[in-house]
């Protein structure tokens, strides 16, 4: 390769992977700054601004056709940019929500912002991967930052327990994941998604490939919190600081699902299978996930824990689309991830604002919030939008998200799965509406006395996040633009060839 | 067409009003503004009645500008208009709007703004349901009504309001989500067969699609189940007494007046023409359920001690007549069902209004607490007697027209067993007279029992403004039903033609559904711009 042309290639590569590099760089700056001046008020602003810059960059690139950079290790433009937008949006909202939260619990952890940036950078890498190694590096960068974030409130034993649990189980699942990659590599001789089919057809070790795929999927199922690998989810979400639980529930799931979609769409899905049926396996996992997630959420008294179980159910809805495995289904899944991120970051954000007295959401029962809707109408109304959207009522985004995952499944002949999915989501109607019942209908006299006495401030920036999420959910579904954008990613075909 | 966006204005004016109302400074201004908006919506809807071409009532009129929804790659459009079936229901909705605001004038004292905002959102949803000619758009409006209703019952309702609100939402959700699956399935099937593989929920395209027989039964079941819960048809009625009794007066009037009609409207609009063979197969089953509902609802009404519960159960009975009329599949019975929907909206709405007025005066709904109040509130009693007689089906008042047409039509329908069912249903008319007159005698006539009742004030000006138009409509519909019947007649005729034609085709064709499906697809492919004859307006 000529040096002059190599320089051009490097420039293109850097532009393609700019978000990852940029976020890591700012993360390092933030952490150094924090060492020299603890609790600098500028830190969250810098972190937030850097995410907005990256977001703007990805918005600018989202119309580009998909291509790959860095020796085809990561994807850029198209679906990769779209996934990045989802991740960066929820990362930005989490940063904004963390500021009043930390003020509320009277801590000054500047490193939270650096860790969010590192995690985001890992998620961006994971969500745009085109190679098994990239997947692994992204996944670990994200996970390690998240382990620390879970236990960031060092004096809180509950949070530490969550962090340790998350770390041990996470490390265990990474083992499965790595074995899977190794076996797939052993069978096909490639780490690239797009070369799997060729490698497989030339392979003499085909069963090895399927064992590898199974282990690989187990690793993913753990990360997205699908049943039966969901055990960590409620404990971790309940123990983690609330805005960061929202961050985990949305951004990390989006990244993991995006990587899974890319692997299935470019790799495993293109392999001509003989006997082994990964789609059936995914349908069964989706079925169990939807049913178990919704049933377990029914009995929860703590809002955070309920949201954790419900996020399991939502992972199940996405899996329904993945099980269908058509272009429209993948597009629906990506679309669902966006809607889901908006709903859940809003819901976790609203709950985090209700922890005004420094009382952890972990300890807060639903009933202690009785009548809060009338006291804080902004939180009450936006929570109404989030809950109805999560239940899937039109004309809110959640309905259109569900439509986008169920419709391709029905088209692909998985009507039975769609029927189970909608019936299970009837249960979700009960537990989501129960939140609204407590917020708006339960007499305030039954609430925690501290809710009655204290009039707590709601920070303006956090209200802004809630309002933005609610407005987006109100308009996003009916307008054709976004849905068509996601569909275009999977109809324009596989991106340009490898070098 | 002129006035092309009139309908959009009628639908969305209340929603826009709700947004503006968020900034209203006082309860007083909220009430007047809500009254203004609902009355403006009513006035806007009047040109629909006067500009409607009754001769062409089977066709879509006042069609709005349509545009794509959700995605350009799907054939889901904002397609709205009115035909003979929907016109009267739209007018009923807009007519009840100001009345509901007025009846809440003094009843709702807490969180007035929220109540009226929700009421206006609800009106947008209800009007939209009757105007949507895209099935998915219909579904969106259909579900939109649940959100405000949940809060209306849950926040402003009675003692057991939470239970009632959640039960109401969950019941409806089960049905409508299953219907959603059916809609999507139908959309793809029709899209593959007649729309170049593009998913479609366009009402007219689906109408021209002959659903294969094997598919019809279960699609019919899913659709009918959703509507059966909404109507409600026995045995899916258990949410109704709870919701009705717990809801505030305004909520009960909306429920009885309009929301229940969404179910019967759905049966006429979608179930019958989309799945004619399956509908015909199930007429007896649904007829039996309808008659059980008629008799059971009436008997349970008779047993109530709470006046509001009595009226609530009478709804089950009255809507049984509507369902019987729809599934008897004759012109008279369907016409009767249409007019009975309007009648029920007016007379049961009025019953709820009067019970609400009494409740505001005495804070009890138990019939035993009243007695002989005709002496203290003669004007209220006059309206109550009129409404009760209308509801019981006295000739000359509106209830008679609908019930008579339904019973005559059903009796002559020629469907095996329908005559027996009709005879059984007729007992419902007698039972209705019994429980309503019994209520009148216990509450209004006889000796005055307590001092509280003696000093009860009679109707005030605002309540007269509510009751007079209702009473006038009852008399008008009873004496001159022709203009109203004429509106839905061509639509009903067309509906029966479509059913007959589709059933004939289905019988001629090989009943093996898959083969028919393939055949149709082949036919469609060979004759491009494909729209089979007969069903397109």
Q: Which of A4, A58, A51, A59 is nearest to A24 (CA)?
A: A51
Looking at residue A119, its pLDDT comes to 95
Q: Which of A430, A262, A424, A253 is nearest to A344 (CA)?
A: A253
pLDDT digits (tens, 9 = 90+) for A78-127: 888 899 999 999 999 999 998 888 887 777 778 889 999 999 999 999 98
A439 shares contact with chain B (CB less than 8 Å): no
Beta bridge partners of B202: B134
Could you tell me if residue B275 is inside a domain? no
Structural domains of chain B, count: 1
Looking at residue B522, its pLDDT comes to 58
Looking at residue B528, its pLDDT comes to 47
Distance (Å, whole) CA B203 – CA B218: 19
Express as a percent the part of chain A with pLDDT over 90.
35
Beta bridge partners of A192: A131
Could you tell me if residue B293 is inside a domain? yes
Looking at residue A65, its pLDDT comes to 80
Confidence of residue A495 (pLDDT cuts 50, 70, 90): very low
Phi, psi of B82 (to 5 degrees): -130, 150
Which residues does chain A have within 8 Å of residue B161's beta carbon, measured at their own beta carbons? Answer: 441
Could you tell me if residue B277 is inside a domain? no
A32 shares contact with chain B (CB less than 8 Å): no
Interface probe, candidates A437, A470, A473, chain B, greatest B C-beta count within 10 A: A437
Is A116:A86 a contact under the CB 8 Å cutoff? no
Exposed e or buried b per residue across A321-353, where buried means at least 16 C-beta atoms within 10 angstroms of its C-beta = bbbbbeebbbbbbbbbbbbbbbbbbbbbbbbbb
Q: Which residues 37-76 of chain B have a CB within 8 Å of chain A? A: 68-73
pLDDT digits (tens, 9 = 90+) for B162-202: 888 888 998 998 999 999 999 999 999 888 888 888 888 88
Looking at residue A199, its pLDDT comes to 83
Looking at residue A144, its pLDDT comes to 93
Could B140 and A374 be called an inter-chain contact, meaning their C-beta atoms sit closer than 8 Å? no
Residue of A nearest to B171 (CA): A426
Which residues does chain B have within 8 Å of residue A388's beta carbon, measured at their own beta carbons? Answer: 147
A406 shares contact with chain B (CB less than 8 Å): yes
The interface pTM score, or ipTM, of the predicted complex is 0.89
Mean pLDDT of A6-24: 86
Going by the DSSP 8-state scheme, the letter that residue A317 receives in this structure is H
Could you tell me if residue B356 is inside a domain? yes
Mean pLDDT of A195-206: 82
Looking at residue B448, its pLDDT comes to 80
Distance (Å, whole) CA B266 – CA B129: 9
Q: Which of A226, A246, A228 is nearest to A236 (CA)?
A: A246
Phi-psi region of A448 (alpha: psi -120 to 50; beta: other; left: phi over 0): beta
Residue of A nearest to B121 (CA): A395
Looking at residue A497, its pLDDT comes to 37
Could B147 and A393 be called an inter-chain contact, meaning their C-beta atoms sit closer than 8 Å? yes
B154 shares contact with chain A (CB less than 8 Å): yes
**Structure tokens, B151:** 């809060």
Q: What is the mean pLDDT of chain A?
A: 85
Phi-psi region of A78 (alpha: psi -120 to 50; beta: other; left: phi over 0): left
User: What one-character-per-residue DSSP string does A368-389 give?
Assistant: GGTTHHHHSHHHHHHHHHHHHH
A407 shares contact with chain B (CB less than 8 Å): yes
Q: Which of B339, B475, B482, B485 is nearest to B397 (CA)?
A: B475
Residue of B nearest to A484 (CA): B71
Distance (Å, whole) CA B529 – CA B525: 9
Could B173 and A477 be called an inter-chain contact, meaning their C-beta atoms sit closer than 8 Å? no
Looking at residue B531, its pLDDT comes to 44
Is B370:B448 a contact under the CB 8 Å cutoff? no
Is A478:A395 a contact under the CB 8 Å cutoff? yes
Looking at residue A168, its pLDDT comes to 92
Instruction: List Cβ neighbours of A325 (8 Å cut-off, separation of 6 or more).
Output: A264, A269, A279, A282, A412
Angle at A370 between CA A368 and CA A372, to 5 degrees: 110
Tell me the three-class secondary structure of B28-74, residue by residue. Answer: HHHHHHHHHHHHHHHHHHHHHHHHCCHHHCCCCECCCCCCECCCCCC
Could you tell me if residue B364 is inside a domain? yes
* 3-state DSSP percent of chain B in helix, strand and coil, to 5: 75, 0, 25
Domain span at B398: 282-480
Could you tell me if residue B407 is inside a domain? yes
What are B532-535's contacts with CB under 8 Å, separation 24+?
B532/B194, B532/B208, B532/B210, B534/B208, B534/B497, B534/B498, B534/B501, B535/B204, B535/B207, B535/B208, B535/B273, B535/B498, B535/B501
Residue of A nearest to B144 (CA): A394
> Greatest CA span in chain B, whole angstroms?
82
Confidence of residue A41 (pLDDT cuts 50, 70, 90): confident
Q: What is the mean pLDDT of chain B?
A: 85
* pLDDT < 50: residue spans in chain B: 1, 515, 528-537
A246 shares contact with chain B (CB less than 8 Å): no
User: What one-character-per-residue DSSP string does A324-345 give?
Assistant: H-SHHHHHHHHHHHHHHHHHHH
Tell me the three-class secondary structure of A417-441, residue by residue. Answer: HHHHHHHHHHHHHHHHHHHHHHHHH
Q: Which of A262, A247, A223 is nearest to A119 (CA)?
A: A247
Could B151 and A440 be called an inter-chain contact, meaning their C-beta atoms sit closer than 8 Å? yes
pLDDT digits (tens, 9 = 90+) for A368-398: 777 788 888 888 899 999 999 999 888 898 9
B143 shares contact with chain A (CB less than 8 Å): yes
CA B57, B272, B69, B537 torsion-angle sign: negative
Q: Which of A442, A431, A165, A391 is nearest to A302 (CA)?
A: A431
Looking at residue B413, its pLDDT comes to 82
Could you tell me if residue B307 is inside a domain? yes
Could A394 and B143 be called an inter-chain contact, meaning their C-beta atoms sit closer than 8 Å? yes
Instruction: Work out the minimum CA distance from A407 to partner chain B, whole angstroms.
Output: 6
Per-residue pLDDT at A277 exceeds 90 = no
Instruction: Work out the minimum CA distance from B333 to partner chain A, whole angstroms.
Output: 34
Could A480 and B144 be called an inter-chain contact, meaning their C-beta atoms sit closer than 8 Å? no
- Of the candidates A411, A436, A477, the beta carbon closest to that of B188 is on A411
A478 shares contact with chain B (CB less than 8 Å): yes
Element (H, E) at A76: strand A74-76
Which residues does chain B have within 8 Å of residue A394's beta carbon, measured at their own beta carbons? Answer: 139-140, 143-144
Distance (Å, whole) CA B145 – CA B164: 16
Is A333:A405 a contact under the CB 8 Å cutoff? yes
Distance (Å, whole) CA A68 – CA A76: 6
Instruction: Work out the minimum CA distance from A480 to partner chain B, whole angstroms.
Output: 4
Could you tell me if residue B335 is inside a domain? yes
């Amino acid at each position: 390769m000529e040096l002059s042309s190599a320089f051009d290639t490097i420039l293109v590569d850097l532009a393609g992977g700019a978000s990852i590099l940029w976020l890591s760089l700012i993360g390092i700056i933030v952490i150094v700054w924090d060492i020299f001046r603890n609790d600098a008020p500028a830190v969250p602003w810098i972190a937030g601004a850097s995410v907005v810059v990256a977001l703007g960059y990805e918005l600018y690139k989202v119309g580009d056709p998909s291509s790959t950079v860095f020796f085809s290790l990561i994807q850029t433009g198209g679906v990769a940019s779209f996934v990045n937008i989802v991740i960066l949006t929820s990362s930005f909202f989490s940063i904004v929500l963390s500021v009043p939260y930390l003020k509320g619990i009277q801590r000054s952890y500047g490193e939270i912002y650096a860790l969010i940036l590192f995690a985001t950078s890992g998620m961006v890498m994971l969500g745009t991967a085109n190679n098994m190694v990239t997947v692994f590096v992204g996944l670990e960068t994200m996970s390690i930052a998240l382990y620390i974030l879970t236990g960031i409130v060092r004096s809180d034993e509950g949070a530490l327990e969550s962090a340790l649990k998350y770390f041990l189980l996470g490390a265990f699942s990474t083992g499965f994941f790595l074995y899977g990659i190794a076996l797939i590599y052993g069978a096909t001789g490639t780490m690239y998604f797009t070369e799997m089919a060729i490698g497989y057809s030339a392979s003499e070790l085909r069963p090895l490939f399927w064992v590898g795929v199974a282990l690989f999927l187990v690793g993913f199922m753990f990360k997205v919190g699908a049943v039966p690998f969901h055990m960590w989810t409620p404990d971790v979400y309940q123990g983690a600081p609330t805005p960061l639980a929202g961050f985990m529930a949305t951004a990390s799931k989006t990244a993991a699902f995006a990587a899974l979609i890319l692997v299935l769409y470019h790799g495993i899905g293109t392999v001509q299978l003989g006997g082994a049926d990964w789609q059936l396996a995914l349908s069964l996992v989706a079925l169990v996930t939807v049913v178990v997630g919704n049933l377990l959420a029914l009995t929860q008294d703590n809002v955070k824990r309920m949201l954790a179980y419900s996020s399991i159910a939502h992972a199940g809805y996405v899996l329904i689309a993945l099980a269908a495995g058509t272009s429209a289904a993948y597009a629906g899944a990506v679309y669902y991830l966006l809607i889901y991120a908006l709903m859940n970051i809003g819901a976790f954000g609203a709950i985090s604002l209700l922890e005004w007295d420094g009382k952890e959401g972990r300890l807060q029962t639903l009933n202690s919030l009785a009548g809060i809707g009338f006291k804080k109408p902004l939180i009450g109304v936006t929570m109404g939008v989030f809950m109805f959207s999560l239940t899937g009522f039109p004309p809110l985004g959640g309905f259109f998200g569900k439509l986008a995952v169920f419709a391709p499944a029905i088209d692909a002949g998985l009507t039975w799965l769609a029927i189970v999915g909608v019936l299970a989501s009837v249960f979700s109607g009960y537990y989501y509406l129960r939140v609204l019942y407590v917020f708006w209908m339960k007499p305030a006299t039954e609430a925690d006395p501290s809710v009655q006495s204290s009039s707590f401030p709601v920070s303006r920036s956090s209200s802004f996040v809630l309002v933005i999420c609610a407005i987006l959910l109100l308009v996003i579904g009916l307008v054709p633009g976004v849905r068509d954008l996601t569909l275009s990613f999977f109809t324009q075909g596989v991106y340009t060839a490898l070098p | 067409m002129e006035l092309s966006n009139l309908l959009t204005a009628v639908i969305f004016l209340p929603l826009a009003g709700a947004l503006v109302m968020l900034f209203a400074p006082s309860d007083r201004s909220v009430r007047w503004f809500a009254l203004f908006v609902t009355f403006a919506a009513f006035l806007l809807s009047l040109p629909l009645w006067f500009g409607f071409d009754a001769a062409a009532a089977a066709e879509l009129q006042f069609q709005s500008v349509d545009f794509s929804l959700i995605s350009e790659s799907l054939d889901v459009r904002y397609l709205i208009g009115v035909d003979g079936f929907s016109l009267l229901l739209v007018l009923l909705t807009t007519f009840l709007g100001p009345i509901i605001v007025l009846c809440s004038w003094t009843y709702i004292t807490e969180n007035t703004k929220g109540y009226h905002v929700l009421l206006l959102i609800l009106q947008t949803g209800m009007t939209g349901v009757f105007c949507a000619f895209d099935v998915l758009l219909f579904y969106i409006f259909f579900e939109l009504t649940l959100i405000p209703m949940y809060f209306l019952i849950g926040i402003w309702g009675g003692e057991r309001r939470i239970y009632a609100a959640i039960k109401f939402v969950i019941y409806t959700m089960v049905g409508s989500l299953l219907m959603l699956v059916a809609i999507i399935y139908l959309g793809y099937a029709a899209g593959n067969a007649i729309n170049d593989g593009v998913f479609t929920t366009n009402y007219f395209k689906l109408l021209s699609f002959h659903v294969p027989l094997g598919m019809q039964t279960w699609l019919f079941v899913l659709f009918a189940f959703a509507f059966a819960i909404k109507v409600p048809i026995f045995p899916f009625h258990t949410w109704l007494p709870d919701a009705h009794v717990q809801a505030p007066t305004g909520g009960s009037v909306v429920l009885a007046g309009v929301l229940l009609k969404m179910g019967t409207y759905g049966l006429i609009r979608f179930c019958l023409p989309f799945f004619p063979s399956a509908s015909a197969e199930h007429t007896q089953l649904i007829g039996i359920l309808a008659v059980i509902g008629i008799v059971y609802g009436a008997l349970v009404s008779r047993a109530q001690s709470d006046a509001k519960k009595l009226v609530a159960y009478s709804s089950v009975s009255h809507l049984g007549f509507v369902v019987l009329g729809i599934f008897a599949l004759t012109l008279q019975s369907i016409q009767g069902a249409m007019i009975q929907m309007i009648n029920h909206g007016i007379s049961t709405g009025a019953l709820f209004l009067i019970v609400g007025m009494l409740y505001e005066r005495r804070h009890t709904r138990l019939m035993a607490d009243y007695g002989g109040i005709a002496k203290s509130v003669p004007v209220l009693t006059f309206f109550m007697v009129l409404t009760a007689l209308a509801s019981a089906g006295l000739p000359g008042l509106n209830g008679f027209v609908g019930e008579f047409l339904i019973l005559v039509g059903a009796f002559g329908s020629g469907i095996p067993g329908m005559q027996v069912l009709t005879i059984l249903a007729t007992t419902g008319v007698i039972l209705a007279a019994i429980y309503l007159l019994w209520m009148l005698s216990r509450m209004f006539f006889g000796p005055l029992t307590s001092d509280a009742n003696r000093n009860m004030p009679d109707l005030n000006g605002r309540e007269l403004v509510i009751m007079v138009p209702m009473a006038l409509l009852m008399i008008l519909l009873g004496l001159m039903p022709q203009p109203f019947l004429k509106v839905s007649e061509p639509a009903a005729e067309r509906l029966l033609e479509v059913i007959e034609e589709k059933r004939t085709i289905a019988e001629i064709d090989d009943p093996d559904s898959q083969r028919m499906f393939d055949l149709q697809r082949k036919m469609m492919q060979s004759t491009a711009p494909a729209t089979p004859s007969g069903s397109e307006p």
